[in-house]
Amino acid sequence: MYIRMLLNASIVLVLCAGTYPVRAEPLKGLRVAHDFWVGYAGFYVAMKMGWFQQAGLKVDEKTFGAPGDGLPALLSGDVDVHLAPLDTFATAIDRADDSVRVIGLIDSSAGADAVIAGKAIANVAALRGKTIGVSLGQTNHMLLLKALAAHKLGAKDVKLVNLNGDDAGNAFAAGKIDAAVTWEPFITQGLSKGGHVLYSTRDAPDLIINSVGVRPATLAAKRVELAAFLKALYRGTDWARKNPGEAADIVAKALEQKPADVRDMMRKDKLYGRAESIELIGTTAAPGKVVRTTAEILTFLRANGITTRDVNAASMFDASLLPEAR
């Protein structure tokens, strides 16, 4: 019996070592910034399941109301990792080439960002002269301009109010603006107040992509920790894709929303795993689709005076940790 117990213990140790290699030194912790977003399902799952801790990694969360709000904390070194859309990091790299690197992708909005309006505004063309809340200079602004252009309208044909997605959604629900460009869960809240979707990322796929951003200095100093972070993150993503109902319960608790509502929200979002990240980022010699999307975002930001210089989109990415994040 004693021998059998020793054998069983040895098997457990071998299996655990196969999942996360045993290290002589403990891993350093990571401070992770993010806003509240349904697409971070993999992160929420990994936190709930204890998979970061299982990887030997202590993760301290710092939450913000909007993606761009966490950027100063990243650039100042107050946090190590920021989960945010590509446009957030594009504004940073405009300041300095060595400001930020995207080391992995998280998700792509596929209807979870939208232009919503009251029933009296039947379509995008009816937005002429109306007041719209939107995060100016961010990809939701870009989404709005795409919607307007598709109906032969421009920014001059509407009244824009600079509001973050959550504030825009709340302002619309309160009847203070005619329309809003917002994201989940504020879309669902707006729909419950009689709103409807005029245009969404379902009409403009792979435009709003969320990613993992770090400073180059952090990438150099904490490569092992960041690889462990990505490994646990993508483990959470894989689990969420295979168990969408249970994942929705976990995300609902993180977002303080009803599980049934979150299940619907998650259908409007496309989660990216490690393999998709590698394919979409590509290589220096053969940049992937996401690099071309980033180039489009950079062009938009420059044309609207948000950024001031031409930037090579590929310089924003460093996919070197992804092969280690199996």
Number of domains, the chain? 2
Domain boundary among 200, 217, 248: 200
Are 229 and 275 found together in one domain?
A: yes
Q: What is the pLDDT of residues 58-104, one digit of tens each?
A: 999 999 988 889 999 999 999 999 999 999 999 888 888 889 999 99
Q: Residue 138 has what pLDDT?
A: 82
Are 221 and 84 found together in one domain?
A: yes
Q: How many Å separate Cα 232 from the centre of its chain?
A: 16
Are 82 and 219 found together in one domain?
A: yes
Are 212 and 185 found together in one domain?
A: no
Q: What is the mean pLDDT of residues 45-70?
A: 94
Among residues 315, 313, 255, 303, which one has the least CA distance to residue 141?
Answer: 303
pLDDT surpassing 90 at residue 2: no
Are 319 and 211 found together in one domain?
A: yes
In a domain, residue 8? The reply is no
Are 218 and 315 found together in one domain?
A: yes
pLDDT surpassing 50 at residue 8: no
Could you list the residue range(s) of the whole structural domain that residue 307 is in?
33-109+207-324
What is the CATH number for 218?
Answer: 3.40.190.10
In a domain, residue 21? The reply is no
pLDDT surpassing 50 at residue 237: yes
Are 158 and 184 found together in one domain?
A: yes
Among residues 175, 176, 169, which one has the least CA distance to residue 190?
Answer: 169
Are 173 and 143 found together in one domain?
A: yes
Are 315 and 221 found together in one domain?
A: yes
Domain boundary among 139, 169, 200: 200
Q: What is the mean pLDDT of residues 218-238?
A: 97
Q: What is the pLDDT of residues 268-287, one digit of tens each?
A: 999 999 999 999 999 888 99
Q: What is the pLDDT of residues 117-149, one digit of tens each?
A: 999 999 999 999 999 999 888 888 999 999 999
In a domain, residue 287? The reply is yes
Q: Are 66 and 135 in contact (CB under 8 A)?
A: yes
Distance CA 97, CA 299 (A): 16
Are 230 and 312 found together in one domain?
A: yes
Domain boundary among 200, 215, 250: 200
Q: Residue 26 has what pLDDT?
A: 72
Q: Are 105 and 272 in contact (CB under 8 A)?
A: yes
Tokens of 130: 């109306």
